[in-house]
């Protein structure tokens, strides 16, 4: 195992994160604060509680998950796409590194960044609403699982994209709508029966539901199913990355 290479890729990616700290850290904090102002003040004042949890606190897991998904995908996809775009990928391809080490470096850094942002959002939320975490271990496991899975997904997007437009296509047109419709700001129990069934086809529902369970002990779907879906998506992403490195798709001619 070439640990120095993993450390180099990881450190290089994290350095970029710190170099753009204003954009990386301050922007999510401001966005979270705005969500609390808009949703907390405008809607929260009309909704006393959801499943026994104040509305302000209820949306916290969804907000963290929203950032976790979008940041994991954005960081990982940009991390691998930019060297392809700039041509510096030649160095990665000609170095004595295995596909696993490359993924560990890039996806590991992307997951670390999104987890950091998730924790910052959690801390920011605590300034606005009283929080409790009933299952902290599961909260951490869910956080890690989701960050790693979606970083791998972002890595796949970064390898698949052949332009900046495609890089934004999946996050903007697929992931963000699914996250908003996945129960970030409401419980799917609040939906009419038809839409409740339709929502179950949205994989993000299971992630948000499971994550919310870790906080408040309440979930829209069973926790076991949530974990199962998270692991299934992780397996799919791992299979996709393995296939790309085996075939050299978009990497080698």
Partner 1 sequence: MQPIISITNLSKVYGTGLKALTDINLDIAKGEIFALLGPNGAGKTTLISIVCGIVTASEGRILADGHDITKDYRAARSLIGLVPQELTTDAFETVWATTSFSRGLFGLKPDPAHIERVLRDLSLWDKKDSRIMTLSGGMKRRVLIAKALSHEPKILFLDEPTAGVDVALRQDMWRLVRGLRAKGVTIILTTHYIDEAEEMADRVGVIRKGEIILVEDKVELMRKLGKKQLTLQLDAPLGQVPSALAAHHLELSGDGRELVYTYDTKGDAGLTVLLADLAAADIRFRDLHTSQSSLEDIFVDLVKERA
- When binding is defined by CB under 8 A, the residue of 22, 48, 86, 137 that contacts partner 1 is 86
CA distance 165 to 159: 13
Residue selected from 46, 52, 96, 137 as contacting partner 1 according to rule CB under 8 A: 96
| # chain residues binding partner 1, by CB under 8 A | 26
Q: How far is the CB of 247 from partner 1 (least distance, A)?
A: 10
Burial of 64 (0-12, 13-18, 19+ CB in 10 A): buried
For tokens 């790309």, name the residue: 244
Residue whose CB is less far from partner 1, 2 or 202: 2
Q: Counting contacts by CB under 8 A, is residue 9 touching partner 1?
A: yes
Which of 38, 95, 123, 127 binds partner 1 (CB under 8 A)? It is 95
Which of 34, 93, 119, 232 forms a contact with partner 1 (CB under 8 A)? 93
Closer of 68 and 97 to partner 1 (Cβ): 97
Residues within window 37-66 making contact with partner 1, judged by CB under 8 A: none
Residue with Cβ nearer partner 1 (5 or 181): 5
- 5 sits near partner 1 (criterion: CB under 8 A): yes
Q: Is the Cβ of residue 50 or residue 92 nearer to partner 1 in the bound state?
A: 92
Examine residue 160 and tell whether it contacts partner 1 (CB under 8 A). no
Binding residue for partner 1, selected from 21, 34, 45, 90, defined by CB under 8 A? 90
Least CB distance from residue 164 to partner 1, whole Å?
16
Binding site for partner 1 (CB under 8 A): 2, 4-5, 7-9, 11-12, 15-16, 19, 86-88, 90-98, 248, 252-253
């Amino acid at each position: 195992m070439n640990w120095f290479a993993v450390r180099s890729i990881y450190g290089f990616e994290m350095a970029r994160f710190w170099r753009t700290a204003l954009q990386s850290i301050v922007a999510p904090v401001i966005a979270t604060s705005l969500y609390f102002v808009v949703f907390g003040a405008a809607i929260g004042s009309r909704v006393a509680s959801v499943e026994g949890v104040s509305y302000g606190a209820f949306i916290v897991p969804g907000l963290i998950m929203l950032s976790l998904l979008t940041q994991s995908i954005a960081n990982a996809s940009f991390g691998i796409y930019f060297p392809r775009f700039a041509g510096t990928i030649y160095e990665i391809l000609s170095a004595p590194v295995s596909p696993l080490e490359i993924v560990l470096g890039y996806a590991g850094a992307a997951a670390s960044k999104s987890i950091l942002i998730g924790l910052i959002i959690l801390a920011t939320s605590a300034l606005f609403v009283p929080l409790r975490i009933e299952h902290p271990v599961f909260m951490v496991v869910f956080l890690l699982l989701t960050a790693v899975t979606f970083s791998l997904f972002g890595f796949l997007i970064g390898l698949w994209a052949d332009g900046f437009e495609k890089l934004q296509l999946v996050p903007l047109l697929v992931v963000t709508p699914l996250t908003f419709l996945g129960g970030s700001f409401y419980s799917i129990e609040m939906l009419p029966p038809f839409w409740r069934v339709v929502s179950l086809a949205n994989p993000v529902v299971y992630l948000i539901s499971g994550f919310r369970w870790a906080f408040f002990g309440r979930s829209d779907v069973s926790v076991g199913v949530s974990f199962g879906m998270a692991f299934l998506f992780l397996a799919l992403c791992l299979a996709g990355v393995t296939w790309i490195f085996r075939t050299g798709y978009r990497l080698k001619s």
